[in-house]
């Protein structure tokens, strides 16, 4: 009832307003729409008509824009719902991939790709699912489609290189990395491309990637060693058919890079092959001094023993041991003792073994289990060779109590036989 009364009041107010307008505007007005078109009506009618036309125009304007806003809002809501569904599907797919449920993961990623063929990430993850199923070739095909959609994508190109490496196709992997480096130079791609090129024997390409790493300021402390290693391989490759030129080039290379051990060692080997024993031994000892490793002075010792100069072999061992530091020095000392035993210099070997613990304390070296074990074995061998059965027995008991697993044939406790230890234990 109240609503009806309200409506009646509004109608009465409108009638009163119109009547009031007629009362205030009794005269007629002429309104020209065009130069030749006009109409004449009471002023109140003109005012009311103008107001009504404005109202209708505003209403139509509001309706049009209201409908547009409605549909825009509808589209946004639909898009939001689709996005929510896509995010949930994405989470399910990633969960299946993480769980290594390859079939389910492949199905989910495939559905995502079908929904949005431009989704590069979905294609990459689909390739992972296929690879997990053992379908590496299909994974590469999927990734080729992704690369066609975005040929400069860093992740796509890295993934393509990874798949090609899984297929043992290093050349294709390098091609992908080269394309990646062309568009987006970065350290990882340059490192992998360099190492793959090196592995394939493409040294010139490897050197180009090495130069790129240097331009990118690779923080790897062994960056310079990597370049020297590649340059050494290039020398080996360029002069593979002419050993004299190789030796000459290596000599220049070593003079320029005297602390690069592989080059020094390689030069020593070439000099050994050409009979230049003095120079070879000098370079073997140089390599031993730089690296601190006994394997290099042992090469010099073998060279002198072969040439009937055992005293020079001992001198090489002492020189190499004196130049070493830390655990390398302890290992080198043990190798020197092995050399004494090999040359049947038993008294010298015993003296070194008896002083070994003092030697370690003097140089502040904390021996590891392997060094301690080797020292005890050498002491047992030495005592056996000297006929000191009781001392030898104590050494073997000490080794047994330390739970060292020794072959039975190493232990010789029968003093009447006094067999020498196996030759494999006396090789320096």
Assign residue 293 the CATH number of its domain. 1.25.40.10
Contacts 24+ apart (CB under 8 A), 176-179: 179/151
pLDDT-derived band of residue 397, with 50, 70 and 90 as boundaries? confident
Q: Are residues 273 and 333 in the same domain?
A: no
Nearest CA to 128 among 152, 154, 153, 93?
A: 93
- Domain endpoint, select from 324, 354, 374: 324
Distance CA 341, CA 294 (A): 16
Q: Are residues 296 and 377 in the same domain?
A: no
Q: Are residues 379 and 359 in the same domain?
A: yes
Q: Are residues 400 and 320 in the same domain?
A: no
- Domain endpoint, select from 291, 324, 357: 324
Nearest CA to 381 among 336, 426, 335, 351?
A: 426
Q: How many residues does the chain have?
A: 428
For residue 280, being part of any structural domain is answered with yes
pTM of the model: 0.71
For residue 281, being part of any structural domain is answered with yes
Residue range 272-321, pLDDT digits in tens: 999 999 999 999 999 999 999 999 999 999 999 999 999 999 999 999 99
pLDDT beyond 50 at 40:
yes
For residue 421, being part of any structural domain is answered with yes
Residue range 2-28, pLDDT digits in tens: 777 877 777 667 667 666 656 566 677
For residue 276, being part of any structural domain is answered with yes
Outline where 99-186 has alpha helix (H).
102-115, 120-132, 136-149, 154-166, 170-183
Cβ atoms of 362 and 399 closer than 8 Å:
no
CA 377 centroid distance within chain: 42
Give the number of other Cβ atoms within 10 Å of residue 418's Cβ.
12
Q: Are residues 317 and 335 in the same domain?
A: no
- Which tokens hold the place of 3? 């609503």
Cβ atoms of 234 and 203 closer than 8 Å:
yes
- Which tokens hold the place of 371? 């060094």
Domain of residue 296: give its range: 258-324
Distance CA 144, CA 419 (A): 70
Residue range 142-185, pLDDT digits in tens: 998 888 888 889 999 999 999 999 999 999 999 999 999 999 99
Give the number of domains in the chain: 2
């Amino acid at each position: 009832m109240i609503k009806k009364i309200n409506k009646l009041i509004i109608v009465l107010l409108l009638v009163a307003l119109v009547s009031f307008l007629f009362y205030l505007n009794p005269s007629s007005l002429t309104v020209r729409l065009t130069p030749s078109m006009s109409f004449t009506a009471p002023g109140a009618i003109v005012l009311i008509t103008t107001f009504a036309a404005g109202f209708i125009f505003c209403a139509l304007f509001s309706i049009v824009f209201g409908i547009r806003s409605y549909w825009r809002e509808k589209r946004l809501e639909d898009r939001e719902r689709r996005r929510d569904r896509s995010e949930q599907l994405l989470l399910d797919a990633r969960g299946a991939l993480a769980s290594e449920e390859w079939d389910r993961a492949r199905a989910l990623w495939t559905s995502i790709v079908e929904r949005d063929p431009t989704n590069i990430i979905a294609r990459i993850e689909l390739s992972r699912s296929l690879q997990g199923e053992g379908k590496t070739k299909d994974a590469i095909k999927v990734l080729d489609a992704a690369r066609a959609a975005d040929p400069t994508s860093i992740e796509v190109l890295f993934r393509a290189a990874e798949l090609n490496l899984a297929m043992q196709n290093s050349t294709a992997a390098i091609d992908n990395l080269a394309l990646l480096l062309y568009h987006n130079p970065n350290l990882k791609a340059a490192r992998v491309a360099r190492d793959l090129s090196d592995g394939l024997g493409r040294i010139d390409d490897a050197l180009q990637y090495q130069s790129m790493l240097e331009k990118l300021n690779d923080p790897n402390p062994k960056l310079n060693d990597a370049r020297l290693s590649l340059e050494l391989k290039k020398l080996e490759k360029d002069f593979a058919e002419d050993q004299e030129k190789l030796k000459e080039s290596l000599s220049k290379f070593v003079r320029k890079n005297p602390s690069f051990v592989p080059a020094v060692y390689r030069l020593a080997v070439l000099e050994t092959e050409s009979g230049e024993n003095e120079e070879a031994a000098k370079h073997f000892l140089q390599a031993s001094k730089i690296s601190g490793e006994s394997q290099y002075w042992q090469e010099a010792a073998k060279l002198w023993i072969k040439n009937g100069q055992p005293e020079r072999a001992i001198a090489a061992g002492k020189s190499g041991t004196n130049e070493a530091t830390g655990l390398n020095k302890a290992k080198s000392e043990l190798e020197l003792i092995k050399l004494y035993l090999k040359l049947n210099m038993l008294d010298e070997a015993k003296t070194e073994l008896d002083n070994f613990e003092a030697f370690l304390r003097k140089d502040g070296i904390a021996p590891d289990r392997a060094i301690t074990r080797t020292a005890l074995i050498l002491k047992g061998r030495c005592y056996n060779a000297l006929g000191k059965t009781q001392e030898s027995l104590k050494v073997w008991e000490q080794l047994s109590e330390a739970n060292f697993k020794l072959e039975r044939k190493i232990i010789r406790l029968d003093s009447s036989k006094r067999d020498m230890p196996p030759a494999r234990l006396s090789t320096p």
